[in-house]
Structure 1
Amino acid sequence: MTTVICPYCFDRSRASRLPYRCLMSPTGLRGGTPCDPERDDLWASFTGSAAPPAAYMKGPLFPPPRGLGQLRGGSGSGRAECPRCGVATTMRACVACHSDLPSDYCAQDSRIIALVGAKSSGKSTYVSVLVNELRHRVGQAYGAALAAMGDESQSRDREMAEDLYERLRLPGTTRPAATGFNDPLLYRLSLPRSSRQGSRHTALVFFDAAGEDLKSADSMARYTQYLSAADGIVLLVDPLQLGAVRDALPEDGGPPLPSRETPALQIAADVATQLRSHGRGGSRGRVNTPLAVAVTKTDALRPLLDPHSPLLRNAPHSGGRFDEADRLAVHEETRSLLEGWDSGALWRQLERDFSAVSLFGLSALGSPPPSDAPADAPKSGPQPVRVEDPLLWLLGLRGLIPVAKPPRDGARKGESAA
């Protein structure tokens, strides 16, 4: 039985219960008359927009036909004929909010990846580069394929690629929730089965919370449903927000320093509070949602890193397997750096708040933006380092990719928590 999590309101429903939406095609089969649009008040109420009434006129919904596929709890063929006009449609809709759902999204289990971080931590750039790496370098290593699902995600996916890789323009900042609803990005990740026969498909949902919405627990509450539905959370930490890092970097020739934003320690604590309030806390009070904490902009940290640091090179991904020993080396290196930067305050809090947490270090661009054009990518284009590691770790925990385990006698500090 396939359970679908709406990527907009995060309601959980059986795929077989999702209604279909008529496409209002002019090629109607019953009398040749297409269906007329109807105002969808439930969807209008959910979006909460001040758009004119005409914006909420959509194709009528109708219940899924009862048949063998539905009786068995499946999603059937994914197509159904409108009982009014007779035209087949694949468009489904959420039971709770009536948001449209691509048919291929409803055909496989979904994995919601929550992306949080203060303003200027690079969330939008990170997603753009991560998607490109999953399609190319990382996809080749794992035999994976990634495709955007639905018109909205496909359009934004093209825009992201054109802006960053063709125009060399960095993404704009994510708009706060108060100015409008931020639609998630939907992708279909296809991976080979262990038997090498056929593929397994997973829907990946990336939801980017604006940094302005993470300044307090009260403002973060609007993302509670999103966080509580997440299979994993990626928290991006901008090291240039840390006073010790700002003081240690050279004054001349160093990266431009951003204005101070919400500390990562506060964001992590507020995330844990929200998740506990929605039943994601374990018996010892630690949240059971896996948390990947990634220090970004490691290219700016080169003067502070050992030349042999694992943060300066990509993971091997040998044989299409996630290297757990390499992950532990990165975890320990990052933990050691945080120990020197904030006396280990962030890591101590993470250990006490989350039952599964791992530290990462990454660079989405490989080098800082040009000093005379801070909104541009480097002229060489993005040359990312380790952007895929947090997501692959989360997928490995769910058994979606193979993991190469380290030797039993290679346990290190932090391994039990990570």
Structure 2
Amino acid sequence: MTSVICPYCFDRAPAARLPYRCLMTATGVRGGQPCNPERDDVWAEFMGPSVPPALRMRGPVFAAPRSLGGLRGGGSRAACPGCGVSTPVRVCRRCHSDFPSDYCDQDSRIIALVGAKASGKSTYVAVLVNELRNRVGRAYDASLAAMGSDTQRRDRELAEDLYDRLRLPEATRPAAMGFNDPLLYRLSLPRRRRLGDGSRHTALVFFDAAGEDLGSAEAMDRYTHYLRAADGIILLVDPLQLGSVRDRLPPGEGPPLPAVETPPAQIAADLAAQLRAHGRGGSRGRVTTPMAVAVTKTDMLRPMLGPHSPLLRNAPHHGGTLDGGDRLAVHEEMRALMEDWDSGALRRQLERDFAELSFFGLSALGSPPPAQAPADAPKSGPQPLRVEDPLLWLLGRRGLVPVSKPGKPTAKGVGA
């Protein structure tokens, strides 16, 4: 039986048992009268006190109808028992949030984005989505589509701000100011079989926490359900938060350095503690959730890199395959750099706490924002480097993209 993870409260339920929500339209067969809206206190309580009374009135929620065998039906539509109108809208049984129409039709992968306030999570997601639709999408013959009206609206706003207006996205609001909806995307990849090729669809759920919510273990507890349900974590580390990196940068170049926020090592420690406390710790004391540690703003690190550093170019992706040798080269270089930062404290913290760990380096913009306008993107627009690497590694761990082993040929025979 297919199970569905709610992308809002992260409750897991069999798809066949998910309730429906009435559309309240006047085309029913039982007298032609639509259902009246009802108070949905379950949804309103989950969303928080900012929901005005008028928005609490929503279409009635009803249980999935039983089939002839007595089991709950798993169809894509069901007739409302009140008005008889068929509805495709499924809702979470725990929080009553509406699912996008096709969310329940494919596997879902929840990707947790974690990072301090200045790490650039919103900019990273906007650039990652653009790359998956263009350069990376071409390499893997993949497509990416926003799911649901909320994600479609936010997706459009992020793209317009960053690529049309050259403005960096606004920071994620803290949980104390209200619930942050996740971004939902349908990733479609080719599926090759002996009896004919097809497509494999996966729902990607990106949920990020505001930097203010990562300042302590108590604040991070708000995201316990999200972290526990995650298939993989991308921890964004701003190197400009590390004193040893700040001290090595040429003075007077680039935009002003950001204010120092919660130390990355503290975020990693709190994250590991939360995951262990909720069943994600292994028998050897390390967390089992795959962790992609992505050092951002590598354009600022160029004085520390050699001329042949893999961090200066994008991954090859020959034949729609993740190059394992290239990934390993990036991992080793980033690990060596981190060993030299603050005496390697962050590197040791991560390796002691996480069993599946890989280091990455990326730049969402390709160059620093203008010194006189730090809220703007570079005038040339984003020229990203390696933003896709952490996500593709996590997807490769789940068998969703092909991965060549180090030293093995890729799909086009190019050595890894």
The reply to whether TM is greater than 0.5 is yes
What does 1:17-416 correspond to in 2, within 5 Å? 17-67=17-67, 71=71, 75-76=74-75, 78-195=76-193, 197-407=197-407
Matches of 2:268 and 2:96 in 1, distance apart?
Answer: 32
- Cα shift at 1:83: 2.0
Q: Secondary structure of the residue that 1:200 maps to in structure 2? A: strand
Q: Is the 8 A contact 1:109 1:203 kept in 2?
A: yes
User: CA-to-partner distance for each residue in 1:32-60, whole Å, 9 max, x for gaps?
Assistant: 22111000111111112233321111000
Matches of 1:215 and 1:280 in 2, distance apart?
Answer: 21
- Cα shift at 1:30: 2.8
The farther-off stretch of 287-296 and 246-255 is: 246-255
RMSD: 1.5
Matches of 1:209 and 1:46 in 2, distance apart?
Answer: 17
User: CA-to-partner distance for each residue in 1:260-288, whole Å, 9 max, x for gaps?
Assistant: 01111110010000000001000001000
Q: Secondary structure of the residue that 1:366 maps to in structure 2? A: coil
- Cα shift at 1:70: 9.1
Identify if the C-alpha distance between structure 1 residues 349 and 343 changes in structure 2 by more than 3 Å, giving closer, same or farther. same
Contiguous gaps of at least 5 residues in structure 1: 409-418
Identify if the C-alpha distance between structure 1 residues 203 and 342 changes in structure 2 by more than 3 Å, giving closer, same or farther. same
- Cα shift at 1:375: 1.1
Which amino acid is the alignment partner of residue 21 of structure 1?
R
- Cα shift at 1:252: 2.5
Which amino acid is the alignment partner of residue 259 of structure 1?
A
User: CA-to-partner distance for each residue in 1:311-346, whole Å, 9 max, x for gaps?
Assistant: 110000001011111000000000111111222211
Q: Is the 8 A contact 2:255 2:374 kept in 1?
A: no
Q: Identity over aligned residues, as a percent?
A: 75
For these two proteins, the number of residue pairs brought into alignment is 406
Matches of 2:123 and 2:26 in 1, distance apart?
Answer: 41
Matches of 2:68 and 2:313 in 1, distance apart?
Answer: 52
What residue number does 1:412 align with? none
Matches of 2:291 and 2:114 in 1, distance apart?
Answer: 11
Identify if the C-alpha distance between structure 1 residues 307 and 107 changes in structure 2 by more than 3 Å, giving closer, same or farther. same
Q: Is the 8 A contact 1:2 1:107 kept in 2?
A: no
Identify if the C-alpha distance between structure 1 residues 56 and 194 changes in structure 2 by more than 3 Å, giving closer, same or farther. same
TM-score by length of structure 1 reads 0.94
Q: Secondary structure of the residue that 1:233 maps to in structure 2? A: strand
- Cα shift at 1:348: 1.2
Matches of 1:101 and 1:131 in 2, distance apart?
Answer: 21
Q: Is the 8 A contact 1:235 1:292 kept in 2?
A: yes
Q: Is the 8 A contact 2:254 2:368 kept in 1?
A: no
Q: Is the 8 A contact 1:113 1:231 kept in 2?
A: yes
Q: Is the 8 A contact 2:50 2:178 kept in 1?
A: no
Identify if the C-alpha distance between structure 1 residues 305 and 69 changes in structure 2 by more than 3 Å, giving closer, same or farther. farther
Which amino acid is the alignment partner of residue 359 of structure 1?
F
Which amino acid is the alignment partner of residue 192 of structure 1?
P
Contiguous gaps of at least 5 residues in structure 2: 409-416
Which amino acid is the alignment partner of residue 13 of structure 1?
A
Matches of 1:70 and 1:193 in 2, distance apart?
Answer: 35
Q: Is the 8 A contact 2:118 2:238 kept in 1?
A: yes
Q: Secondary structure of the residue that 1:34 maps to in structure 2? A: coil
